[in-house]
Amino acid sequence: MKAARAWLRTAAGVIAALMVAGLTACGQNEFIYVRDREGTTYFKVPSTFTPVESTAIDLFLTGEEPGSAAAQLTRQRVWSTAFDQSDNPSPEHLLSSPDPFVYATVHRLTEEQQAVVSMNRLRDFFLPVTQELRELIQQQAQAYGQQLRFTGFELLIDEPIHLDDGARGVHVRFNYRYEGEVQTYDLTALLDERGSTISALVISCRADCFRARAAEFDRIKDSFKLLRLPG
């Protein structure tokens, strides 16, 4: 129970990325091809995107203080990278921007996290999606007299993913109103066959931008794969 509550608190804080890593440009630079540092997760983004430093959003997700021992341990377990298509790239654009933002991360789970991981935990990996977590956050905000930063939740897509090797996951797409603008977030979260690693991809853009460019974003999403290494 303690581990489950800790997971919910982490999900309530939400949003992350470590430092840009594992980037290689191939072909005629039409795409940037990305693998995590262990070589288990792969995707590609158009070369019109710019890699951005994303330590700040990693700390926002975990709720850890910069330079703390907890943050240092997280860096050992987490790989992530981010890309922005804005003329003025910024990690903050993951939350709200008229231009597309792509974020990917791979988390090696602790034993406590492995014990409570579930499809709903995957849905809530980035921002609160399940009714349980959204109600919990609402109750916490009311108890402390706080205003919610994310409001007007709308679920657009919620579909399970089952992979041939026993890995599984979810694909969810949803809207939130943030700082007066409706933003669309698209999350693919995959749990490996051992239940020990979560690989997640988030694509975000203002709602009107996402509707106009959904086919392009789907191609990025569909490129997101788990790779089986030899041995």
Structural domain including 209 reads 2-226
* CATH code of the domain covering residue 125: 3.40.1000.10
Greater pLDDT, 228 or 106: 106
User: Which amino acid is located at 184 in the chain?
Assistant: T
User: Which residues on adjacent β-strands are paired with residue 177?
Assistant: 151, 182
Contact 80, 112 (CB under 8 A): no
Tell me phi and psi for residue 228, to 5 degrees: -90, 120
pLDDT band at 64 (very low <50, low <70, confident <90, very high): confident
Instruction: Name the domain count of the chain.
Output: 1
Domain membership flag for residue 231: no
Domain membership flag for residue 102: yes
Cα–Cα distance for residue pair 199/117, rounded to 1 Å = 13
Q: What confidence score (pLDDT) does residue 28 get?
A: 54
Reported as a single tens digit per residue, the pLDDT across 118-140 is 999 999 999 999 999 999 999 99
Reported as a single tens digit per residue, the pLDDT across 139-153 is 999 999 999 999 999
Contact 82, 91 (CB under 8 A): yes
